[in-house]
Structure 1
Amino acid sequence: MSATSRWVYTNQATLWLQTGKRDPYTREPLFSGPHVIACTFENMGDTQTDDNGQQFVPRDTVWHEDSLPIKSGDRIVIGDALDDAEPPATAKAIKKVGGWDMSFFGEAPDFVLYT
């Protein structure tokens, strides 16, 4: 974690990434095991446009520096939920992923997730 992020990303969120496979019976997406990331968040946020061009107001906006290949459709819970092998009912679907360059500080990129 970069020096700048260390003092900002003091919370945790748990992510479940889609595996690209589907349950053969329900056709629901299958997910990897949980990943905990350091983050900061706010409930709600400004209007965003998802990958399909639909506008939405995020339920959560989560900023982080983790390099996991997070994409729309993955699930997230604010807090440490490592005991849950599958996304719990409270997990929210990620609708948009963004990021910005931090190389001018000599640091890794930062990312934002909208649910």
Structure 2
Amino acid sequence: MSSLSAWSYTAQATIWKRSGAASEYRDPVFEAPVVIACDYQGGLSKRVGDIGSEKVVKNTIWTEYALADTGDYILIGVSTEVDPIAAGADEIMQAIRYADTFDRLADDFAIITGA
């Protein structure tokens, strides 16, 4: 962990990765939850208009965790629940990679969730 990340990533989040398998009802199957170091910012949730609703950013989570991907689930805080939906986790819309500008030890990621 870079020196700046150790200073700034003082919160925790729980992430559930999709295993790639599906249940007999075609629901996604998730790996065991993993707790990561992070920081976060809340955002907007859902915008409802005359012709329906659209997904917008709900939370942005900054971390050095490099394995987050679209379709995984993440929850701010620690959870041991095996089902991310039951835990109240949000689906990841995108993970954006940023360079570790100062230490060049581990890149940083912005994990964006939607509502």
Give the TM-score normalised by structure 2: 0.82
- Distance (Å, rounded) in 1 between the aligned partners of 2:62 and 2:90: 15
Calculate percent identity across the aligned residue pairs: 36
Count matched residues.
103
1:103: how far off? 5.3
CA deviations 1:62-99 (Å, max 9, x no partner) are 000123x2110000110010x21221431100001101
Measured on the aligned residues, the alpha-carbon RMSD in Å equals: 1.6
Amino acid at match of 1:37: I
1:87 is aligned to 2:84: yes
**Superposed structure 1 runs of 4+ greater than 4 Å apart:** none
Contiguous gaps of at least 5 residues in structure 2: 45-53
Match of 2:15 in 1: 15
Match of 2:63 in 1: 64
CA deviations 1:46-77 (Å, max 9, x no partner) are xxxxxxxxx8421110000123x211000011
Give the TM-score normalised by structure 1: 0.82
CA deviations 1:9-41 (Å, max 9, x no partner) are 0000000000001001x2111000000000000
More strand by share: 2
Contiguous gaps of at least 5 residues in structure 1: 46-54
Match of 2:48 in 1: none
Please say which structure displays the higher CA radius of gyration.
2
Amino acid at match of 1:85: V
Contact 2:2 2:103 in 1 (8 A): no
